[in-house]
Amino acid sequence: MELRRLGQSGPDISVIGYGLMSLSQTYGPSEDAESLEAIHAAIDCGVNFLDTAEVYGTGHNERLFAEVLEKRRYEVIVATKFGLELGDEGMRANGRPENVRRAIEGSLDRLGIDTVDLYYLHRLDPEVPIEETVGTMARLVDEGKVRFLGLSEINSDTLRRASKEHPIAALQSEYSVFQRNPEESILETCRELETTFVAFSPLGRGLLTGTVRSAEDLGESDMRRHSPQLEAENLEHNLAVVDAFGQLARERDLEPGQLALAWVLAQDVVPLFGTRRAARVRSNAEAVRAELNAALLERIEDIAPAGAILGTGIPEAMEKLKQR
């Protein structure tokens, strides 16, 4: 597994990361034993950059991760997030300074550790200036409770303002062959500020791999059932792009997921994949071995240029929490 520096002065992280969200209810019921096997498989493959959040399974995800950290803490870089919570009207952002304090204590307790390596603000709170939130987060660094700071789904202006308060080691946003919004400006800003860009949902929540072909493929409690990408008016068009991408992967003796991850790696960012199965973890980790030359990248661009996929991959209410 290749490594790269996190931010300006952070630790070395694997060039590909493992996101634990799907292990805690978001995509339907899960089995802890299977989930733990998947986490151990990632570490065994050399993936040392593991990502969770307090909102995943309302704390279940961090407690699950703690079972691995009890024996393997020094093999991994622990990233967790705060600032996204479930209210009466659905998900909402909470970046108030007092919530920063409440959240870190809860995460440290659930994870069973003394320090979080990378602490993200999960979503920008439009009612709280970013300087107030990051300023409070920075004090956690001074106190030794957090090593490095990150943000998620914010725009270039917000990143610049936040960086004046404290260096931002990582910015995490959705990015894949099928979702190219970060190319508009944030990728360039991250390079300028030496902020590592972490791409979540690099497999398009299963769409890129070909494993999700309709909402009916998914369980009743799976968030993706409400994805506009799977709605009737978009689905036929989107599946044509999926099938063309899958055929290209097979021509190169790759699985579609491996080609999708290799494409993100070729953009010099860190893809953060998620899966519940250890076998899929090992397959995805092999993406670091794929070689994409200029001709192959051009073919991918022909098949899936920006805007090729219709609709968002998550419900509209969740999409609105992202800053543009």
What residue ranges in the chain does DSSP mark as E strands? Answer: 3-5, 12-14, 17-19, 49-51, 77-82, 84-87, 90-93, 116-121, 146-152, 168-174, 196-200, 270-273
Cross-strand pairs, 173: 199
Alpha helices in 127-277 (DSSP H): 130-142, 156-165, 186-193, 232-251, 256-266
d(CA 171, CA 155): 10
**Do 36 and 67 meet the contact criterion of CB atoms below 8 Å apart?**
yes
Cross-strand pairs, 120: 81, 150
- Only one residue has tokens 């802890």, namely 32
Asked if 27 is an active-site residue, the reply is no
Q: Is 204 left (phi over 0), alpha (psi -120 to 50) or beta?
A: left
The Cβ of residue 302 has, within 10 Å, a number of other Cβ atoms equal to 11
18, 27, 56, 120: which is the annotated catalytic residue?
Answer: 56
Convert 116-144 to b/e letters by CB count within 10 Å (16 or more is b): bbbbbbbbbbeebebeebbebbbebbeee
**Phi and psi at residue 310, to the nearest 5°:** -95, 135
Q: Which residues are catalytic?
A: 56
